[in-house]
Amino acid sequence: MVNQKTRSVLIVEDERIVAKDLQETLAGLGYDAFAIASSADEAILRASDRCPDVVLMDIRIKGKRDGIETAEVLKQRFGVPVVYLTAHADDATIERAKLSEPHGYLLKPVKSAELRSAIEVAIYRADMEKRLRERERWYATTLRSISDAVMLVDLAGNITFMNPVAESLIGVNAAEVRGRPARDVLRLRIDGSTPVPDHPLDRALRERRAVEVREATLERSREPPLIISDSAAPVIDDGELLGAVMVFRDVTAQRTLEKQLELHDRLTSLGTMAAGVAHEINNPLAMVVGNSDYLLEALGRLRAELVEQNSAATAKAIAVLDEALECERDVRSGGLRIARIVSDLRAFSRPPSDGGVETNVARAIEWAVRTTSNELRHRARMTVDAAPDLPEAKVDETRLGQVLVNLIVNAAQAIDPGHPAENEITVTARATGARTIAIEVRDTGCGMPPEVMARIFEPFFTTKKVGGGTGLGLSVCHGIVRSFGGNLQVESQVGKGTLFRLTVPVAPPRGSDGPAPSPVTRPFRGHRILVVDDEEAVLRVIRRALDDGELVCKARAIEAFELLQGGEIFDVILCDLMMPQMSGIDLYERLLAIRPEQAGRIIFMTGGALTDRAADFLRTVLNSHVDKPFQVSTLREAVQRLIKP
């Protein structure tokens, strides 16, 4: 052979003369028949000294092991191809020889041309087999090493191979499930159907094309389900379908994050829209709430006077008044309810608060429990367990209280009334590490199925009957907790109960407690109050609310400015922030230049839809502000704080 290295041949033959003859023939053909062995042991010894390219093996040889057994040992140990060269062609021998998978079978006497072609074919085949084995090993190693999960099935859809990633994602052992139908092991739910009606692997086999599934739920027996993304493809070799392969990966964390972002985006845009609507609603609402407060008080006074007169004529008037008072109370509570919804919606668009406040979590819990005690009494026992040495949280106490009230009310509403001894709501708080505090609200109520749990943070999602809930509670809680830089998670089991866990950041240590707000009762007699608002009706509401003060009202900021420029002094300046022409900010800035002490007396009033400039301004300015619509008491408190700090 041209350009080919000399092939080495080991002859195993116990008849010396035949062996020598063969050796000569081989040499004549250009082979290096470097050794002759007459027994199995000798053959193994020779091969281990120098591994031949091919072995020519007689079947009947000396010793305990015959040529077939020897061939098996040589093949196994050295991977060398064996060609039998024998005088025996009986069926039994051929049958046995066949089982040892020889690379050739020649009958003596053999012609040199036959010998040569048999040797060449044997070496070529052995070489191909070796390469094939190497490639298989390479593929298997690759499949085992890649980070995606891989599963192979045969034509019937039964598992033939799984890599370690697939084993660990599914939670099974490859050896144990080999041969089982893939659809029983890789149990998928797509779009909520259980099990998936047409398994991707079955489809790939049937349709002979790749099938991609962007998102499926992988059910696992011992662990919670995972969200996977997968693709299945048929394995086709030279037009022949051999099976199918599926590659999949765990995308649970990625999808959870995507869903959170999606929800966050939706809440933010809803908040932006709500802020716009709020602007339009809050001024008229300020009239409704403020006038109701005034009317209730005025009608109350009138009623007291009539009661004092105590005549038949007044009795009739009192009855009419009582009805009017009831209507007015309904108007007021309706107005407050609208105000709460609008303010809840606005919470979504609020930027994360910069904290800056230190809140005693135990006190917020205590307040929330007290506030909800009516709701609870007939439903469950309440247990509070807040570690006494809890650090303060860097959150707004009122807003944290609002979250806790929402969670406790939800917990109470998940429990049917009537069996308070058998049900429990537990609120616990503990520090988790140095930076966060975890607060848990746990109930023994009805729990939630996964499809409800998946939607609870969506605004307006509620399972309560019409009029029972707006479905804003949890989305607001979610927004508030996120604005604290914390998070809100839920675990629930139908029939067992629900656990809401919120984490909030710990406040950095500080010096002393701030002053507690004092109750407001003092009248404003003798105090000068300037009110600036472009809405006449709002001015009227404020005039009534602060009627014990000395009020000057202006519908335009420029008029107020001129008054102040002229040297007038006010104890409090209530000023709308957003006004056409000169805004509250403009007034503040111009005052700062000429009457800084009066600029410091301003309380801003806001009705939502803040421009970026206004929002920034409110964040940085030291003056306080009240949101419209305000209750009379809130407005009076704010004024009181400025008059008597």
Half-sphere exposure of 627 toward its Cβ, with a 13 Å CA cutoff?
A: 17
Q: Are 339 and 630 in contact (CB under 8 A)?
A: no
Q: State the binding partner of 411 from ligand ATP, Mg ion, none, CB within 5 to 8 A by kind.
A: ligand ATP
Q: What is residue 180's three-state secondary structure?
A: coil
The CA distance from 250 to 147, in Å, is: 10
CB of 342 to Mg ion, least distance (A): 17
**228 vs 411 by CB, closer to ligand ATP:** 411
Query: Which one of ligand ATP, Mg ion, none interacts with residue 163, CB within 5 to 8 A by kind?
Result: none
Tell me the per-residue interface mask from 365 to 404 with ligand ATP, x by CB under 6 A, - otherwise: ----------------------------------------
Binding ligand ATP (rule: CB under 6 A), the pick from 54, 186, 188, 472 is: 472
> d(Cα 307, Cα 425) in Å, to the nearest integer?
46
Distances in Å between the Cα of 411 and the Cα atoms of 72, 417, 425, 457, 474 are 75, 12, 7, 15, 12
β-pair type (497-505, 487-493): antiparallel
Select 212 or 262, whichever has its Cβ closest to ligand ATP: 262
- The piece of 236-244, 275-283, 321-329, 457-465 that touches ligand ATP (CB under 6 A) is 457-465
What is the C-alpha to C-alpha distance for residues 9 and 27, in angstroms, rounded to an integer?
A: 10
Q: How far is the CB of 476 from Mg ion (least distance, A)?
A: 9
Q: What's the DSSP call for residue 251? A: -
Please count the residues of this chain forming the interface with Mg ion, following the rule CB under 5 A: 2
- Phi/psi at 560 (5° precision): -65, -40
What is the rounded CA–CA span in Å between residue 598 and residue 447?
Answer: 56
DSSP 262-287: HHHHHHHHHHHHHHHHHHHHHHHHHH
Q: Which of 471, 485, 505, 600 binds ligand ATP (CB under 6 A)?
A: 471
* Contact status: 410 vs Mg ion (CB under 5 A): yes
Instruction: Please name the amino acid found at residue 379.
Output: R
Binding partner of residue 470 among ligand ATP, Mg ion, none, CB cut-off 5 to 8 Å per kind = ligand ATP
Binding flag, residue 462, ligand ATP (CB under 6 A): yes
The interface with Mg ion within residues 37-56 (CB under 5 A) comprises: none
Q: What is the C-alpha separation between 595 and 507, in angstroms, rounded?
A: 37
Site string for ligand ATP, 402-441 (x = CB under 6 A): ----x---xx--x---------------------------
Q: Which is nearer to ligand ATP, 54 or 474 (CB)?
A: 474
Q: Which of residues 372 and 410 has its CB atom nearest to Mg ion in the complex?
A: 410
Q: Does 473 bind Mg ion (CB under 5 A)?
A: yes
Q: Which residue lies nearer to ligand ATP by CB, 115 or 477?
A: 477
Shortest spacing between CB 284 and ligand ATP, in angstroms:
23
From the list 550, 560, 513, the residue with the least C-alpha distance to 529 is 550
Give me the 366-405 binding string for Mg ion, x by CB under 5 A, dash otherwise.
----------------------------------------
Smallest gap from Cβ 495 to ligand ATP, in A, equals: 11
* 3-class state of residue 630 by DSSP: coil
Give the one residue of 217, 372, 402, 470 binding ligand ATP; rule: CB under 6 A: 470
> Does 473 help bind ligand ATP (rule: CB under 6 A)?
yes
456 binding ligand ATP? (CB under 6 A): yes
* Contact with ligand ATP (CB under 6 A) among 19, 54, 288, 448: 448
Which CB contacts under 8 angstroms, 24+ apart, belong to 475-479? 475/267, 475/348, 476/344, 476/347, 476/348, 476/402, 476/403, 476/406, 477/402, 477/403, 477/406, 477/407, 477/502, 478/263, 478/267, 479/267, 479/271, 479/347, 479/348, 479/350
List residues bridging with 553 in a β-sheet.
Answer: 531
381 bridge partner residues: 424
Q: Which residues bind ligand ATP (CB under 6 A)?
A: 406, 410-411, 414, 443, 445-448, 452, 456, 461-464, 469-475, 498
